[in-house]
Amino acid sequence: MKQFVLYFLTILFSVLFFFCSVTRKIEKRTPKHYEWSIKDTEEYANKNVDSTKWSIKKLTNDLKNAQQADKEVKLPISDYPSPVADYSGNGSTVNPLSIKIEGKSIIGYTLAHYKDKFNEHLFADTAGQYYTFFTILFLTDKPLLDKGQNPAVISRNYPHYLFIGTQNTSLGNIDWVQATLGNGENFAIITQRYFDLKAGRTILIAPLKDGSLRFLQLKDSPETYTWKELSSQSVVTINNFVEKIKINKKVISFFSQDKIIEQK
């Protein structure tokens, strides 16, 4: 009986070892699909902030190419009408911003979309009707609407929205395209730089005298608000955001860094 038990255990362990070996081989042949996480998103957002990781060679080449490029003001994306299916989007709103930080004029826009079935989960426990998806702020030596430029919200791709615009500086124009998608994705492309807005819906931009830009992505943002607030031109969440930005030490330091363009 004892020998039978030993024999049985030997056979059992041999079978288990065989299946484990086969499983390991299968796993090696079929790699697991990589699942992008919020950790990856935040690491991506932060990696370009660390100056020790910058490629000075690439920056030098980019500056050389930029100096040779035509600085004529152009729209970020050409707009040619095309037919689309009927839709009933609930609308969007763009609020211009003008902020004084340590004597410097910071200007920009904050974008919000009206509540609908694609974004209603963002309004939990609030009476708000608009949710802020993107805020962009510049330090510039040109007016907010220089040379007739004006940002535009494109809803022809509903339930996806595009927000496009251009801001002039004496060094050239800064273009941006921001996208709010029906599946919840929210991102911006600013002068060919990509920003996943899950890591922060506010982007600050500081042009330097050498023709390069510096970016700062913040989690601080206006949140939800109502049509009544909007129509009265007194949106509490935007006002609170502005006051918070004014005293944010990281923001003050960002707009006070060396070699930043001078405002007249």
Summarize pLDDT for 46-100 with one digit per residue, the tens. 877 778 878 888 888 778 877 776 665 566 887 777 878 788 777 899 999 999 9
Specify burial of residue 167 (Cβ count, 10 A radius: 0-12, 13-18, 19+). Answer: buried
Flag whether pLDDT at 145 surpasses 70.
no
For residues 114-129, b (16+ Cβ closer than 10 Å) or e, as one string? ebeebbeebeeeeebb
**Element housing 204 (H / E):** strand 202-207
Contact of 234 with 139, CB cutoff 8 Å: no
Q: Is residue 244 part of a domain?
A: yes
pTM: 0.78
Domains identified in the chain, total number: 1
User: How many whole angstroms separate alpha carbon 181 and alpha carbon 190?
Assistant: 17
Q: Coil, strand, or helix at residue 22?
A: helix
User: Is residue 16 assigned to a domain?
Assistant: no
Question: Within a domain: residue 20?
Answer: no
Range of the domain at 51: 38-75+86-254
- DSSP reduced 3-state for 16: helix
